[in-house]
Structure 1
Amino acid sequence: MPARQLREDYYYEEQPAKVVQPAPKRALKERPHINTNLRFRVGVLAVALTLTASITVARTVINATRGYELVQTQNQAAQLERENKQLELQIAEMRSPERIKNIATNDLGMSVPRDVYFAAEK
């Protein structure tokens, strides 16, 4: 083929294809020095922070649990005090003379004397 060729009103040129050569290999760089002492310190710090946070959370949970137990104990004490007052009221009602008189007259058939006489020695 000729270098130039007439083709419908315009000219074009064919250029030889470029040969792509691989890039030259670079020398491997040395890895930077890893500071193992710093890594160890950061690890120890992370473990210490985790341990501190865990202890704080555990103490908070224990305090909350004790608070709930305290409220429950106070509620039980208040309930027992109410029951104690009710029992004291029942005891007072059982000991009342009016109740004893009603049981004696209604259940046992006793009667109250109209006149009461007392004897006294002089």
Structure 2
Amino acid sequence: MLARQLSEEEYFEELPQEEQRIIRRKIVRRNVQPNPVRRQGMIAFFTGALLCGMVLLVSSVLASETYELGHIQSEARLVEKSNETLRVENARMKSHARIKDIAVRELGMTVPQETYFAGEQKKN
């Protein structure tokens, strides 16, 4: 028979029959057989969760690679722009008019009035 403790003392009170049945129902353990459908559902759920995790991982890696690629492309555009500026500067430095101006102004050279060529002249 089931009983309930009333206080810290050593006496107990007997429970009514209705409460005893309710408590017995809670205590009774059932022999549960594994459900194959539930097992398959759990396997499918965890497989789906694993696949979703892998998709998220791959997409995050792809997004970071795309961001890095955009950063590298912007750096490449800056380098190309700098390279073009250097090409223009190089062409300006090689210009014959600039070289002639430096030779006359800084080195004191003069442009000859007549040009002489050595060699045979062709007669028409």
User: Normalising TM by the smaller chain, what interval?
Assistant: 0.5 to 0.7
Higher helix share: 2
Deviation at 1:49, TM superposition (A): 2.3
After superposing the two structures, state which structure 1 stretch, 27-36 or 87-96, moved more.
27-36
Distance 1:75 1:35 in 2: 64
1:79 deviates by 1.3
TM-score between the two structures when normalised by the length of structure 2: 0.66
C-alpha separation between the residues in 2 aligned to 1:50 and 1:93?
64
Q: Which runs of 4+ in 1 moved over 6 A?
A: none
- 1:120 Cα deviation from its structure 2 partner: 4.6
Which residue is equivalent to 2:4?
Answer: none
Q: Which has the larger radius of gyration?
A: 1
What are the within-5 Å matches in structure 2 for residues 14-93 of structure 1? 22-24=15-17, 25-26=20-21, 28-29=24-25, 30-38=28-36, 39-93=38-92
SS in 2 for 1:111: coil
Identity %: 30
Q: Are residue 101 (structure 1) and residue 94 (structure 2) matched?
A: no
Distance change >3 Å, CA 36–CA 78, structure 1 → 2:
same
Q: How many residues align?
A: 102
Q: CA RMSD in A?
A: 2.5
TM-score (norm 1): 0.67
